[in-house]
A = this chain, B = another copy of it.
Amino acid sequence: MPRSKGPAQPPAETGPAAARHLPEATLVRLTQYLRALTELRDAGRSSASSEVLAEAAGVNSAILRKDLSLLGSYGTRGVGYETEVLAQRITECLGLTHEWRVSIIGAGNLGRALSGYGGFRNRGFSVVALFDASPDLIGRDVNGLRVANVAFLEDVLTFTRTNMAVLAVPGPVAQELADRLVRIGVRSILSFAPVVLQVPEGVTLRKVDLATELQILAYHAQQAGQTGLQRP
């Protein structure tokens, strides 16, 4: 579509590239669309309308169309979106065609849970190493991985060509480990440690905080005056 002006078209982009900068909120939803598309396709649907797809992804259809329009025109008016084509397009956009090699630092309960999480392998992520500092854990087999000594972190990250790391360690040692990760060249870190981490520009850090999640639930429950089980 030869859009005249408006929100700055990427000037004559070749191929199906486009999508320079996707808003964070859109990114989150794209991953949901991707899952919904996979389910619909596996259920034998070759196409779906924005209404159906939005329902499956748990969002409203207006925002879905808006999001998808950022990737370019991949729907057919009067019909909908081809599940296969669109899934492929989103996969490309998210950078999931590349193989991501993930190391998990910390082989406690959480680290072990993550290393066995099936949702990773399905989506282009391989867990290539699992580290701990405890002699009780080092050398043990966890989900087919041998727990490595975190003293050799740098060597193993290099050897395994790790390009993404998950921090599942206690708060007090998290910053120190993040520093080591950054120094050896890891630029993408997901942290479960309940502390504020400082990383230099150019490193992407995401945080998941379990206590925060419960605290926010508590706020909403309190707001609604729900202090116990609410029989209907």
Contact = CB atoms under 8 A, between A and B. Distances in A.
Interface of A: 21-22, 24, 27-28, 31-32, 34-36, 56-58, 93-96, 98, 100, 102, 108-110, 112-114, 116-117, 119-120, 122-125, 157-158, 161-164, 183-190, 194-197, 202, 204, 206, 208-224, 226-232
Nearest to A184: B229
Nearest to A171: B119
B94 A215 contact: yes
Contacts of A32: 196, 212
Contacts of A224: 187, 202, 204
B217 A164 contact: yes
A221 B187 contact: yes
Contacts of A34: 215
Contacts of A21: 223
A33 to B, nearest CB: 11
Given A113-B108, A113-B110, A196-B32, A188 B209 contact: no
